[in-house]
Amino acid sequence: MASVAKQFNVPVIGIAGVLGDGVEVVHQYGIDAVFSILPRLAPLAEVLASGETNLFNSARNIACAIKIGQGIKN
């Protein structure tokens, strides 16, 4: 999907549960930025139970950052 988006100059943001070593390899495949939804380490059961909320909060924060960036003049 990212490579198709790149053909049309559409930026791609990846959202993952957790980012591990070597995450930068995603940039080779057209992903411009990648974010984790986990605000802190927690037991798996807690992470799974709060997944929807964490995803929502992360997406909202990413959208706010984009909005801020659009207001910055080059």
Render 19-63 in DSSP notation, one character per residue: --TTGGGGGGGT--EEEE--SS---HHHHHHTHHHHHHHHHHHHH
If one counts every other C-beta atom within 10 angstroms of the C-beta of residue 3, the result is: 10
H or E segment to which residue 71 belongs: none
**48 pLDDT band (50/70/90 cuts)?**
very high
Can you give the pTM of this predicted structure?
0.81
9-18: pLDDT as tens digits: 999 999 999 9
H or E segment to which residue 13 belongs: strand 13-16
Share the mean pLDDT of the chain. Answer: 93
The predicted pLDDT at position 52 comes to: 96
Q: 35 near 57, Cβ under 8 Å?
A: no
